[in-house]
Chain A
Amino acid sequence: MLSVRNLTKRFGTKKVVDGVTMKIQKKKITSFIGPNGAGKSTVLSMISRLILADEGIIHIDDKELSSCKSNDLAKKISILKQSNHINVRLTVRELVSFGRFPYSQGRLTKEDWEYVDEAIHYMELEEMQEKYLDELSGGQRQRAYIAMVIAQNTEYILLDEPLNNLDMKHSVQIMKVLRRLVDELGKTVVIVIHDINFASCYSDYIVALKDGKVVKEGPTDEIIKPSVLKDIYDMDINIEYIDNNKICVFYA
Chain B
Amino acid sequence: MEKEQFYYDNKIVKMFLWATILWGVVGMLVGLLVALLFVFPGLLEFAGADNAISWLSFGRLRPLHTNAVIFAFVGNGIFLGVYYSTQRLLKARMFNDVLSRIHFWGWQAIIVAAAITLPLGLTSSKEYAELEWPIDIAVVLIWVVFGINLIGTILKRRQRHIYVAIWFYIATLVTIAVLYIFNNLEMPVTAFKSYSVYSGVQDALVQWWYGHNAVAFFLTTPILGLMYYFVPKVANRPVYSYRLSIIHFWTLIFLYIWAGPHHLLYTALPEWAQNLGTVFSIMLIFPSWGGMINGLLTLRGAWDKVRENPVLKFFVVAITGYGMATFEGPMLSFKNLNAIGHYTDWIVGHVHIGALAWNGFMIAGIVYWLAEKLWKTELYSRKLANTHFWLGTLGILFYAIPLYVAGFTQAFMWKQFNPDGTLVYGNFLETVTQVLPMYAMRAIGGTLYLTGFILLAINVIKTAKAGSAVEDELAEAAALKKISGKRVAGEGFHTWLERKTVLFTILTTVAILIGGLVEIVPLILVKSNIPTIESVKPYTPLELEGRDIYIREGCNNCHSQMIRPFRSEVERYGEYSKAGEFVYDFPFLWGSRRTGPDVHRIGGKYNDNWHFNHMLDPRSTSPGSIMPRYSWLIKNDLNASDVEKKMEGLVGLGVPYSEEEIAGAKQQLLAQAKQIEENLRQDPEFVKNYGSSNMQNKEIVALIAYLQRLGTDIKAGQTALK
A and B associate:
no
Chain A residues engaging chain B, CB cutoff 8 angstroms: none
